[in-house]
Amino acid sequence: MQLTQEQIDFFQTFGYLHFPALFSPDEVAWICEEFEYSIQHFGSGNGHDGSSRTMFGGPIEHRPRLCALLDDARIIGLCNEVLGEGFNYASGDGNYYSGDTGWHPDGNWNQLFAVKIAFYLDPLARDSGCLRVLPGSHHPDHFVRAQHIDLNNAQALFGIEPRDIPGNLALETQPGDLVIFNHDLYHASFGGSTRRRMFTMNLTRPCSTPEDVETLRQYVSVHSPGGYSVDTGAGMYFPTMLSTAGPERMRHLRQCADLHDELFPQFARK
């Protein structure tokens, strides 16, 4: 997939892009099936009672067909355009969400260092848990960042509900849509069910300078299986992701895998 210059500029300015119906109904069917299998067998989905979020790591890494999302020309093309060729895949999370998430960014990198790709597996509208974004809030000089405004405290600060923060956008989605956003972008979800299914892929830009490699090391030291004290049996990634990888996919795995082995030798690949 190739982006237009306008789409690239939109992403840089507003911090997100939404692609409606990027995946066909047939693809949505197998993606949902594989997601359900994964969260039930590799996460604790079978114990989900809706009282809190159920989350598991590396949602695309347990089943060969989901692993191949990292070979998919649409995803590769999008990441090449937004991050640059040689981007890194840096795990992700699979969820049955329950209720609101509150406003938060996923990172405070003050630069386009990492992005999240999100797949929503149920139709979601503004009051039933769709992703909300605060466009432009990834910029370090955005007023929310510059003034350290706690958006979740909007009632006390401004007499409004957090979901009514001016300027926020409800990205209503159907299964098959894809959303990508800069980790530094403030986002939230309000009014969702107790079993809102979504999974993500995190990706970073290619890291070749010493500064970028250091930033990636910090990233992997926290946002990785080792960072959460999880032993995948194969370091940074669950074994199926590596055992089904061809040379092209390995390009996107190698750098985080090596850093993870170095940072967490107790969990290193054998």
Residue numbers at the binding site for ligand AKG (CB under 6 A) = 97, 101, 106, 116, 131, 187, 189, 198, 200
For ligand AKG, the closer CB: 138 or 187: 187
For ligand AKG, the closer CB: 62 or 187: 187
Query: At closest approach, how far in Å is the CB of 237 from ligand AKG?
Result: 19
For ligand AKG, the closer CB: 171 or 242: 171
For ligand AKG, the closer CB: 66 or 131: 131
For residues 109 and 204, is the Cβ–Cβ distance under 8 A? no
Query: At closest approach, how far in Å is the CB of 198 from ligand AKG?
Result: 6
Closest CA to 236 of 41, 58, 44: 58
Query: At closest approach, how far in Å is the CB of 269 from ligand AKG?
Result: 27
Say which amino acid occupies 213.
Answer: V
Query: At closest approach, how far in Å is the CB of 144 from ligand AKG?
Result: 16
Closest CA to 198 of 129, 121, 104, 105: 121
Tokens representing 80 are 């090449």
Query: At closest approach, how far in Å is the CB of 115 from ligand AKG?
Result: 11
Assign residue 16 a region (left: φ > 0; alpha: ψ between -120 and 50; beta: otherwise): beta
Strands 187-189 and 196-204: unpaired
Which uninterrupted H or E stretch holds 201?
strand 196-204
Residue nearest to ligand AKG (CB): 189
For ligand AKG, the closer CB: 187 or 252: 187
Residue with tokens 């960014």: 105
221 phi, psi to nearest 5 deg? -65, -20
